[in-house]
Structure 1
């Protein structure tokens, strides 16, 4: 997600001018900053599997239904599964005005910037095995979750998994077209970002609302939204167990002194100051996990992937690691607390920080395994979905409240749509 905020940050730094569109070359210069931290190195294949993980075979379920049952749509940003997909991924990303506002020249500038950056980004994905594993893990999680749902919630079954990515295949519009072909009449939009941000879940829901006008103008599909789950029991317990497993790899005498660093993607303070609840929800996850661990270790919440000199959430993950190593604290355990599967930020960025620490003699700097195909985590998602369906599928009360500084009309329209889907049970507050 480094690339999502680079251009936005550059635009904020410019002085007011009667000519709104910023020059392209400075934008490209700033985008290069987000790539400099990416070195081309191969990732240990062990990070893609674990003894308690289900087998991950790419699969997208489809098939005609009689209209009964429930579709579970796993929403996420996505990522290029292969090198040839990188350009289209970047083109869609830079063409999204919700995330990177470039003014009236958005449709032209987005593809231009994407084309300029494609070679560097292709090298980055080559360094982690030739593409992002996020689709593989999303499809596995959805498939296994729906199998469990068929057993524990037969009244809402059969359950069919779908994946809807914002910038990579399968795209939201392709998934909706498949759902229409399959005869789906009831669906849950299930965000795979446990902690809400207007830049992640908000953007995905805005796109879903927009595409539904094209693919289902008759409103034949009844929707509900599972919009956030930062303190879900399954999520918390799985993170806690992964931490326990990793702590067990340290010498017993050192174990209680290992500092746990919970790392989440940072956001510009300009986004936070508009009222985005993301940092509070990430902190809620951290507190719940530490409570599950009986606060057994010292810990901090840190933020990764900051780009440029403007104010972002801090401290930065890399700076925190370097600071503790300099203070003779060699045992640090990194936990990617805002991610439900591996991708370039876990497989590359965190691993790069670890290698830097090891080079300075801090061999006790490690990271926990990502959630990926952990069946305990997947069972937790199934229980979360079952509860959502039993409660009538209402979204959270938080979703109905826009940020106090929000100026995006799409958010208002989206909330009105959700309210109508829920029969007015969750009315938009503003």
Structure 2
């Protein structure tokens, strides 16, 4: 073999990849359906025998649910940039992190587990740019099989197609990181200083999972409760209650349910309510529509007076500092 004819292969760089859940490309019915199909076909998300689940998914759910989901996305869609809030904030997070730690040998990018930009496309791009080392940060503070683990699954599948695989390090969870808790407490204090009323209660609402997943050993609920406990240890001005939202289907999910809890609060004398969603790294349809529109309407209708949502950490400096700290632990010095 003539050594002078060796193919030109870039090497020697490190890639950092932020990965969030995902988003449809638009609010159109077909784009919503495509996104839902990918999401709800994940065996980590729906642990039902595929021979039973696929007919239900394709014949019923993907026929009727896209219209309902599209209606929700249209309420919170960023029309000026024509993208979802989750895509906007995840891109901004990657850009701000790049400005902090990026250089010629350290490339920062982002991907989505479902939808675009895909994990596979971004891993291939980082490999083409010469990344021999990869550090992946799934943007889920509390580990769950249906979130962090499925990101890992997709990364492994993508690496299986590579002849020269990069080294890989995945940051599994950060539910009790001091900078994370500090950032959440700062966001609560910032909101309470801005509003003209005093909250009777603060709800810490996390995305739910079926109780059966917890019974099988998923640590997610424990991580959520740990985050809430650490917030309450630092912030004692108001009572904080943990609930779980976004349940789907007829089976039992982690309780107490956010929607049912909020509906009952006015009867118990809670008229002024703040909600924070610590498990979401970016505001999205679950926070902006499900909580700040649906839950707010329900609370006011049942007799509540004041309701507000504490924004997710999004692309705040506290959040980017947290990402930098987490990632730098895994970088080769």
Report the TM-score, using the length of structure 1 for normalisation. 0.68
For 1:206, the equivalent position in structure 2 comes to 153
SS in 1 for 2:242: strand
Pair 1:303-2:271 in alignment: no
Q: Which runs of 4+ in 1 moved over 6 A?
A: 105-109
Would you say 1:344 and 2:292 are equivalent positions?
Answer: no
**Contact 1:263–1:317 at 8 Å: present in 2 too?**
yes
Contact 2:21 2:147 in 1 (8 A): yes
1:134 aligns with 2:83: no
Q: Does 1:91 align with 2:33?
A: no
CA distance in 1, matches of 2:194, 2:9: 48
Closer, same or farther: CA 109–302 of 1 in aligned 2, 3 Å = closer
Deviation at 1:308, TM superposition (A): 4.6
User: Would the alpha carbon gap of residues 380 and 78 (structure 1) be closer, same or farther in structure 2, given more than 3 Å must change?
Assistant: same
Superposed CA offset, 1:65-85 (max 9, x none): 953342111122201141243
What is the root-mean-square deviation of aligned Cα atoms in Å?
2.5
- Alpha-carbon separation, structure 2, partners of 1:66 and 1:213: 20
The runs of 5 or more residues in structure 2 that have no matched partner are: 1-7
Tell me which residue corresponds to 1:218. Answer: 164
Measured at CA, do residues 297 and 65 of structure 1 come closer, stay the same or move farther in structure 2, by a change above 3 Å? Answer: farther
When the two structures are aligned, how many residues end up with a matched partner? 317
Which residue in 1 is equivalent to 2:330?
Answer: 388
Describe the superposition over 1:35-82 as per-residue Cα deviations: whole angstroms up to 9, x where unpaired: xxxxxxxxxxxxxxxxxxxxxxxxxxxxx9953342111122201141
Alignment of 1:153-232 (within 5 A): 158-214=105-161, 216-219=162-165, 221-232=166-177
CA contact (8 A) 2:262 2:298 kept: no
Unaligned segments of structure 1, at least 5 residues: 1-63, 393-430
- 8 A Cα contact 1:97 1:106, kept in partner: no
2:205 to 257, 263, 287: 263
Once the two structures are TM-superposed, the CA of residue 134 in structure 1 deviates from its matched residue by 1.3
Greater fraction strand = 2
Q: Please report how far the alpha carbon of residue 205 of structure 1 lies from its aligned counterpart in structure 2 after TM superposition.
A: 0.5
Shift of 1:106: 6.7
1:345-369 superposed Cα distances (whole Å, 9 cap, x missing partner): 1110101211222234422222111
SS at match of 1:175: helix
Separation of aligned partners in 2, 1:89 and 1:79: 7
1:13 aligns with none
- Equivalent in the alignment of 2:65: 117
1:323–1:173 CA distance, 2 compared to 1 (3 A): same
Give the CA deviation at 1:170. 0.7
Q: Which of 254, 261, 264 is the aligned partner of 1:313?
A: 254
Q: Distance in 2 between matches of 1:285 and 1:122?
A: 32
Q: Cα distance 1:250–1:226, how it changes in 2: closer, same or farther (>3 A)? A: same
Tell me the alpha carbon deviations over residues 221-256 of structure 1, each in whole angstroms, 9 at most, x when there is no partner.
1111101110122221111111011222455xx74x
- Structure 1 residues 65, 86: closer, same or farther in 2, change over 3 A? farther
Residue 76 in 1 paired to residue 20 in 2?
yes
1:273 matched to 2:215? The reply is yes
Q: Which residue of 1 aligns with 2:183?
A: 238
Cα gap change, 1:304 to 1:373, in 2 (>3 Å): same
Q: 1:70 to 1:77 in 2, by over 3 A?
A: same
Distance in 1, Cα, partners of 2:64 & 2:208: 25
Q: How does 1:19-58 map to 2 (within 5 A)?
A: none
**CA deviation string 1:268-323 (max 9, x = no partner):** 11010001000111111112222222x22211101112245532211111222222
**Gap change, CA 1:97 and 1:307, over 3 Å in 2:** closer
